[in-house]
Structure 1
Amino acid sequence: MAFHYAAMPSSSSSSLSGVSSQPPLHLPRLRSPHQASRRLSALPFSRALPLPLRLRLRIPRPQLPPLPLAFSHGGGGDNDGDDNNNNGGGDGEGDGGAPDNRREALFVLAQLGRKLESLPSDLAAAVEGGRVTGEIVRRFAEMEGSALLRWLLQFQGFRERLLADDLFLAKLAMECGVGVIAKTAAEYEKRRENFVKEIDIVIADVVMAIVADFMLVYLPAPTVSLQPPLATNAGHIANFFHNCPDNAFQIALAGRSYSILQRLGAILRNGAKLFTVGTSASLIGTGVTNALIKARKAVDKELDDEVEDIPVLSTSVAYGVYMAVSSNLRYQILAGVIEQRMLEPLLHNHKLLLSALCFAVRTGNTFLGSLLWVDYARWVGVQKVQEEA
């Protein structure tokens, strides 16, 4: 701001002895607000913004320092040209955060005193491609402190799920642990007085449950995608399903997004897998049950007319369809909506309470699924109600 100076009166100068040779003192003259605003209008920013905001907008964003410790020897640099992620999602936000994710993950690696080559190859490639955040890298390093988790992290499927949900292993144990009890209770609730007469069918259902429970938790669980992009010559259908999330309702990581079509694709893809799992589990279960029935008939000849063999093929296909539709939707909603979007944000710092609520919700879901299966099996005709003698 320019200032105008006025000389002091000569009478003041003459009254000062010994300093008359010094230049006169000048005082600034204040301008009117109207004159000041005309000066400010010449500045190179818009008058529509308040002055503090204009000044802040001109401050450059600080850059993280180079992290040579995080790079494997001979590679790395800060070349963002390779940060494109073909696994990104379809609603336009896709890979905007890939370079930032990469810098953040490398920064965490440098803090931990580790190099990129110390990570599994798929995780290292995901860091280079900006597909994982620094929090994921930190979680991986913390999990390596446990002998059991360190062993499970060697397997890609477990690695993707454990990094997305640190309670995944506990949920898997919950599901398998309560599966037999909850399903047996549901069978008794539906069959009541016929429970003993239909015990062979009950055994078949429980055996199928034991085989299927693991996959019902494993397949719909949210994951951190560590898969590399498909080859450029891959078909459109393969590329589409490759880019779909493992859970249709899971929260996308920073810099990633999924379109509605991709989330629907996750339901279809998991449905196809669960159909295969359900059919295979039913083949095992009905095969075991029929073997038990034949063994009982060999001991007790009176059972020939009372107990019938279970139709293997029709029961297996019916159970596969049930898992592809009912189980698929229920477990995807449970893992992606109730647990990840509702319970986890609310009880993030209270793991014990979070585990207890997950246990209660999963137990109820298992019991509900058993009830629905009995009704469905009777509706399609693969199981019949035994009449009173």
Structure 2
Amino acid sequence: GNDGDDDGSFEKFDAVGPLGFFINGWRSRVSADPQFPFKVFMEEIVGVSACVLGDMASRPNFGLNELDFVFSTLIVGSILNFVLMYLLAPTATSASVAASLPGLFSQCPAGHMFEPGSYSAIERIGTLVYKGAVFGAVGFVAGLVGTVISNGLISLRKKMDPEFETPNQAPPTLLNA
């Protein structure tokens, strides 16, 4: 029902599934840091632009002959920057409720290994291992997406121009990710 104060804002939107999980997480991060969208935007613009420009500068002809690889760099960089900022950002609940890591890491500091508190060295190393595994998984998935996109663009280019020869052999998808 409408209680009279429904302004159609983002905060009123409740979704289920992965989209709902993401939207609720975004809402919680914006509640904890109202400048979070601006920070994400700036990281995407500055971080990804610098990465793409560096990638293009390292290629012959400023990467103009290999725009498919440059595009893959853009996609992978965007995914990585966004996901890492999303995972590292404080949430509204993290400020008020002590969050904990799952399972084996439940006694470890939830935020970072240097978090204040009476944690043992093993618990602090546990946080490092857990966060490293999460960030490694994110990097692997982003690399997988980038490799699939790159290989797909190369095969599309070969279909459009049968005389096109790739300068390098395409790497195996899983090993390259």
Q: Decide: shared fold, TM above 0.5.
A: yes
Rounded to whole Å, the distance in 2 between the matches of 1:260 and 1:198 is 50
Partner of 2:73: 205
Q: Look up the match of 1:259.
A: 119
1:305–1:168 CA distance, 2 compared to 1 (3 A):
closer
The match for 2:132 is 271
Q: 1:228: Cα distance to partner?
A: 6.7
Q: CA deviation at 1:246?
A: 2.6
Query: Match for residue 313 of structure 1?
Result: 174
Tell me if the contact between 1:180 and 1:209 (Cα under 8 Å) persists in the aligned partners. yes
Q: How does 1:266-345 map to 2 (within 5 A)?
A: 266-304=127-165, 306=167, 308-316=169-177
SS at match of 1:301: coil
CA contact (8 A) 2:105 2:130 kept: no
- The amino acid that maps onto 1:175 is E
* Deviation for aligned residue 1:168: 2.1
Is contact 1:219–1:246 with CA below 8 Å preserved after alignment? no
**Rounded Cα–Cα distance in structure 1 between residues aligned with 2:153 and 2:100:** 48
Residues of 1 paired with 2:88 and 2:99: CA distance? 20
**Whole-angstrom distance in 1 between the partners of 2:8 and 2:110:** 28
Is 1:245 the equivalent of 2:113? no
Could you say if the C-alpha distance between residues 198 and 300 of structure 1 is closer, same or farther in structure 2, counting changes exceeding 3 Å? same
2:75–2:146 contact (8 Å) kept in structure 1:
yes
Structure 1 position 238, deviation (Å) = 3.6
Amino acid at match of 2:137: T
Q: Distance in 2 between matches of 1:189 and 1:258?
A: 48
Q: Distance in 1 between matches of 2:33 and 2:114?
A: 14
- Residues 78-98 of structure 1 show CA distances to partners (whole Å, capped at 9, x for unaligned) of xxxxxxxxxxxxxxxxxxxxx
- CA contact 2:100–2:110 (8 Å) conserved in 1: no
1:284–1:228 CA distance, 2 compared to 1 (3 A) = closer
AA in 1 matched with 2:61 = E
Take 1:229 and 1:245, find their aligned partners in 2: how far apart are those partners?
5
Segments of 5+ residues of structure 2 without an aligned counterpart are 1-6, 15-20
* 3-state SS of 2:88 partner: coil
Q: Aligned pair 1:170/2:38, yes or no?
A: yes
Identity within the alignment, %:
29
Q: Contact 1:175–1:213 at 8 Å: present in 2 too?
A: yes
Root-mean-square deviation (Å): 3.5
Question: In the comparison of the two structures, how many residue pairs are matched?
Answer: 160
The superposition leaves residues 250-304 of structure 1 with CA deviations (integer Å, 9 ceiling, x where unpaired) of 6x6xxxx363745543332222112111111221111111111111112222223
- How far residue 147 of structure 1 moved from its aligned partner, in angstroms, is 3.5
Matches within 5 A, 1:3-18: none
2:90 equivalent to 1:214? no
Deviation track 1:137-194 (CA, whole Å, cap 9, x = no partner) reads xxxxxxxx99445659x95534553454332232122223334422211112333536
Change (3 A) 1:151 1:172: farther
Evaluate the alpha carbon distance shift between residue 177 and residue 307 of structure 1 in structure 2; reply closer, same or farther with a 3 A threshold.
same
Alpha-carbon contact 1:222-1:247 (below 8 Å) kept:
no
Structure 2 Cα separation of the partners of residues 159 and 313 of structure 1 = 34
Separation of aligned partners in 1, 2:81 and 2:69? 18
CA contact (8 A) 1:219 1:270 kept: no
Structure 2 residue identity aligned to 1:297: K
TM-score (norm 2): 0.68
TM-score, normalised via structure 1 length: 0.35
Secondary structure in 2 matching 1:240: coil
- How far 1:217 sits from its partner (Å)? 0.3
Unmatched segments (≥5 aa) in structure 1: 1-144, 317-389
